[in-house]
Structure 1
Amino acid sequence: MKKDITIIGVPMDLGQTRRGVDMGPSAIRYAGIVERLEDINYNVQDFGDIEIARPGTIEETIETNLKNLQEVSTASEKLADTVSNVIQENRFPLVLGGDHSIAIGSLAGIAKHYENLGVIWYDAHGDLNTADTSPSGNIHGMPLAASLGIGHESLTGIGGYEQKVKPENIVIIGARSLDEGEKELIKERGIKVYTMHEIDRIGMTRVMEETIEYLSKKTDGVHLSLDLDGLDPLDAPGVGTPVLGGISYRESHLAMEMLAESQIITSAEFVEVNPILDERNKTATVAVALMGSLFGEKLL
């Protein structure tokens, strides 16, 4: 991995309705991410936070049920430009959320620099909803669909182009809560998914070996989008949409360690840390520990 890292905070809480996740970047910084990476000899630049416009109330536009569509779209454009500039400077973009809607901007800024970007979506959810399939209208459940070019044009057109990633270049790991529309889209587009059933059955080692082999053959860069709710709530309680029966802390470390060894990750984001719902910043501390493993931290 590049030894020069730029941290970008995105204090976004408009992609869903539970307040507090906008404090995620601050919580992760407080948990010591800069010091952790500097201790393993990375040159870390903290860009600070993207400015997020605040609506007076949670809004739904006239033509759609999507909440805070304009604000999320505007923030996504800002993030896309920022991430793109970081890559142009030959630095590794490390994005801190915020809710998972920020991935719309991250991928829009990253994908333009690759012919065949791969994506590892480490998450309890598929985030493949649209306005037509979403039960809630929360945009944090739509970023992967939007990045495929599916959904409202204000989300799919971020960065001036539609499809950021091809369905065959995506691997979802840890899924255990999928809406019916998402299941149909996964089957229709042939998206590779390792649910908790597969992780339990074949083990995280094999899941990661297969994921790395699958993406290495067909991509020229891989973005890791890690939602802390991919982990079991016992290990990461400070998330807005916890789902029991998730990936363990140790399994997640193994996954990050194997990605570090593979050297395939070219950008990353860690999202959905909500300090209000947390226990003494436990989830942010977990996030920082996993980032340490991703960037090659070793016990010996």
Structure 2
Amino acid sequence: MKLSLVLAPYDSGHYQSGFGQGPDALVTGGLVEALTLAGHDVDVEDIGKVGGDQPREIATGFAVCRAVAGRVDAALEDGRFPVVLAGNCLTTVGAVAGEQADSIIWFDQHGDINTPETSVHGFLDGMALAIALGLCWKPIAHTVPGFKAIDPARCLLVDARDLDDDERKLLDALPVLRSTCTSAVEQAGKLNAAGAVRTHLHIDLDVLDPDMLQVNRYTTPGGPDPNELGKIVCGIGRSMPISGVTLSAYDPAFDPQGDVPPVAGHLLVDLLAALERI
């Protein structure tokens, strides 16, 4: 398969800091070699510095989304399958826009579905899925080329085990599908029934059990081990029209032995093999 790895090395507007070091660490940790050995033609593109000299969480975050949307769109025009390596989950808004995705599967230990009205901490990344679903930050989201909010009925949120009270209330009021990891493949089939044609697969790596693999400072107990996650993601890949993938939220400062990059490589290799079987 022809692939485009789009690197968006930002964390809350800061370039190559914190989570923003994750994309480069995945690449230097052997991701490209793993994909190449599996027979894929891999093109790597870093979006570089965007948004001006002064890092600003909101303005720079959406500038990253605009840059990613352009790179993803260009990759698809070149016949390449887009894989975005992101620091922040917000970056998925750019991937969704570039793919013109009409549905989304969101693996994350967090809901990322706060809005400015519900967020206690004002953390923009905690609103990432809400933005993708058109629930907040609407004017600036529509500055991202190709962005169209995804119908909440075409969203599957998987293993969100760390939710704020207001996120729970909002999810109870929305038609968002929710599942544990074990029921994710079955629930994903409901997106097909809802008419999904281009589904973006978002994988926040902190969905993994931190007792098995520590990916950042925000992890909470529970979640699948890497093998379990791989089987679930491959099951979805064999049953859904996946238009692109985002891997996010890896902070190498919390992975001193470099355990995460090989796991991410194995996950992507297996997922792409599943997609090729369709």
Any residues of structure 2 matched to 1:75-224 within 5 Å, and which? Answer: 75-111=64-100, 114=101, 117-159=102-144, 163-195=148-180, 199=181, 204=182, 207-217=183-193, 218-224=195-201
The residue aligned with 1:230 is 207
TM-score by length of 2: 0.89
CA deviation after TM superposition for structure 1 residue 168, in Å: 0.9
Which residue type is aligned with residue 189 of structure 2? E
8 Å CA contact retained: 1:31, 1:285: yes
| Range moving further from structure 2, 69-78 or 18-27 | 18-27
Query: Deviations for 1:48-76, whole angstroms, at most 9, x for unmatched residues?
Result: 3442447657x5xxxxxxxx211112221
**Residue 151 to residue 247, structure 1, CA distance change in 2 (3 Å):** same
The residue aligned with 2:242 is 265
**Residue 263 to residue 190, structure 1, CA distance change in 2 (3 Å):** closer
Query: Deviations for 1:86-140, whole angstroms, at most 9, x for unmatched residues?
Result: 22222211000112121122222222xx5xx221101101111111111211111
Please say if 1:7 is aligned against 2:5: yes
8 Å CA contact retained: 2:5, 2:42: yes
8 Å CA contact retained: 1:104, 1:158: no
8 Å CA contact retained: 1:78, 1:105: yes
Give the % identical residues: 25
Please say if 1:71 is aligned against 2:60: yes
Which residue type is aligned with residue 259 of structure 2? K
**Residue 108 to residue 50, structure 1, CA distance change in 2 (3 Å):** farther
8 Å CA contact retained: 1:235, 1:283: no
8 Å CA contact retained: 2:208, 2:224: yes
Specify every segment of 5 or more residues in structure 1 that has no aligned partner in the other structure, as ranges. Answer: 60-67
8 Å CA contact retained: 2:3, 2:82: yes
Query: Deviations for 1:271-297, whole angstroms, at most 9, x for unmatched residues?
Result: 001011213121233222211221128
Q: Distance in 1 between matches of 2:142 and 2:226?
A: 36
Aligned residues: 272
Which residue type is aligned with residue 179 of structure 1? D
**Residue 262 to residue 31, structure 1, CA distance change in 2 (3 Å):** farther
Q: Distance in 1 between matches of 2:13 and 2:172?
A: 26
Which residue type is aligned with residue 245 of structure 1? G
Q: Distance in 2 between matches of 1:154 and 1:138?
A: 18
8 Å CA contact retained: 1:149, 1:162: no
**Residue 30 to residue 76, structure 1, CA distance change in 2 (3 Å):** same
TM-score by length of 1: 0.83
8 Å CA contact retained: 2:62, 2:141: no
CA deviation after TM superposition for structure 1 residue 260, in Å: 3.7
8 Å CA contact retained: 1:125, 1:175: yes
| Secondary structure of 2:231 counterpart | helix
8 Å CA contact retained: 1:10, 1:96: yes
CA deviation after TM superposition for structure 1 residue 164, in Å: 2.4
**Residue 159 to residue 128, structure 1, CA distance change in 2 (3 Å):** same
| Secondary structure of 1:175 counterpart | coil
Question: What RMSD in Å do the two structures reach over aligned CA positions?
Answer: 2.3
Which residue type is aligned with residue 5 of structure 2? I
CA deviation after TM superposition for structure 1 residue 84, in Å: 1.6
| Secondary structure of 2:273 counterpart | coil
Q: Distance in 2 between matches of 1:28 and 1:54?
A: 26
Specify every segment of 5 or more residues in structure 2 that has no aligned partner in the other structure, as ranges. Answer: none
8 Å CA contact retained: 1:15, 1:140: no
8 Å CA contact retained: 2:8, 2:84: yes
